[in-house]
Chains A and B, each alone.
Chain A
Amino acid sequence: MADVVVEQARSVRAASSRKRTSLRNVLGRKSTVAFLLTLPLILLIASLVLYPAFYSMHLATLNKSMQKFVGLNNFTFLFKRDTFWMVVRQSCIFAITAVFFKALLGFIVAHFVHNLPAKGQRKWRGMLLVPWVIPPAMSTLAWLWLFDPSYSAFNYTLSFFGIGPIPWLGDTFWARFSVILVNVWYGAPFFMIMYLAALKSVPDQLYEAAAIDGANWWQRIWYVTLPMMRNIIAITTLFSLIVTFANFDIVRILTSGGPLDSTHIFATWAFQVGIQSSDIPLGACVSLFMVPILAVAAIFILRDVSKRGNEA
């Protein structure tokens, strides 16, 4: 009997030690640790992004008073509205134009900064990042004052040259110009810093080889710099396209979508329809419409990036 008891105790000890070892093994795995470390973020995203996203999908299928399921009726209703297609067009114009100029300016400025002596470069980098660091709502308010229809600092300055007054926010063309300008001003530093990082990672030997081959400035840019920066350009453009497409604060503060709805983009129109007009299902529909457009853009750009990654 005593032998049996001893045997049992030994087998229990062995089993618990095996359990401890296997737990230690599981915890020791990098993937498990990585999962546990990212778990808070996953939960945060699930509660603050996924839940609202699914909830807005649910809202988009309800009627105006949110009491009846109407399927895709809200979407078909939107497709018949001229204002909706105007908003689609404007959102595309706004996002594509702003991202193009942000990328172009970022690229140019990044080259200037890259070519500065290392000693002064940090100061310039800091100063050039200021527009991106200031909260956009605050800086847009400053722009609003600059564009103020009656007391615009721009118009005051232009008057010395016999130009103006320009109705910055009152005329369709100038209002579109103004919202895009502010978006470019705000977003260009992000491109600049990303491109600067990419430029710094291009090996000098490539430029030396190009110089030996007799490449001029333009050829160095086209055949060395751009191919080396392609992935960064693609990812930055995708990221900026998503953020710009979903922009709200700049348009809301500067024009509220006016004049004559000429500056409305998806987010501002969704707010106007959903909150100001108490038609939450339709507002949800408008905002959800951005998803397929951005998904298609993301698929194309990321596929291109991964293809080049595989080639490398």
Chain B
Amino acid sequence: MSSPSAAPLDLLYSEAEEELRTAVRSLLAVRCDAAGILARIEGGRPHDPELWRILAADIGAAGLLVPEKLGGQGASHREAAVVLEELGRAAAPVPYLTSAVLATEILLGCDSTRAADLLREPAAGRQICVPALPLTLAPGAPLPAPVHDSGDGRLSGTVTSVADAVAADVLLVLADTGLHAVPAANARITPLVALDLTRPLATVILDGAAATRLADPATARAAIAGALLSGAGLLASEQLGIAEWCLTETVAHLRTRHQFNRPLGSFQALKHRLARLWLDVASARAAARAAADALATGAADAPLTVAVAQAYCSGVAVRAAEECVQLHGGIGMTWEHPAHLYLKRAKADSLALGTAGHHRGLVADFAELPAP
């Protein structure tokens, strides 16, 4: 290996990060309970604009990655990761990953005045800005074919599986002439029926949509690549939050639920499954923290650390959610119990920003362990 040992990563949580966690968790406890999420989903409007306003603007979470001079908080990926842990723990239907992470990183990567100006609104939580890219797009994978720019700043084309587009004010679109900002009102956004009820998907159709160009094609592609890396690294923290909720709920259930005149949690077969899951969650925390810290410090081996975190945390979140359903028995199969929200989110997350298999392929490249 070219870099056998990386600089030491800070894998703990700082006091400021714990304070941020407390603020986000308290908000979600009040404004984002499972019954409320289900009610909004059934009403066809999964996003809660008021929750987003408080989280993004009042708490300032939307601008964590944005420098203060551009109207943000000037924090880092470490803080954004803590927010995502809590959002995962609550299966919260808010466009944080798309607007506050992916779109924000793309705009920061454009390094242009126009992009910086555009960033002020989402950074302050006043607008939702969403990249018009398929949620499955992975770092290191070829970008999808760009939409066509007819030359007069009008874009035409279709992008599939765009997460949170239904809530967007602005879309970031990769066209053959570079990156463009398109007001959502100028696009046709067709909601899809998605596996994950808490992160809605849509098809974005542009039919001569008026757009503002932000960057040339090369800059746009580099900015998107950087954003996908950050997004994948921080998604690991959301997956950690999902897994933690599933483990905690399942342990609580097995401690109190009695069958055969014993608490279920006293059966060794079940204890061992939960102990193994706990171990996996503890390991996922180390992997997710490593990715967040490597991104925050711009470590040279950040792409490897991110790939390791994604290759590991995707599977842990899915397994935790699957164990949660199974160990809740029939209760876990019901619509009323929130386990299914987490299972759907975990499974969709395992496809988002690259599968574990894709990220293992990246590990093979970075660690110089080539395929046959």
Q: Do A and B come from the same complex?
A: no
Residues of B within 8 A of A (CB): none
Residues of A within 8 A of B (CB): none
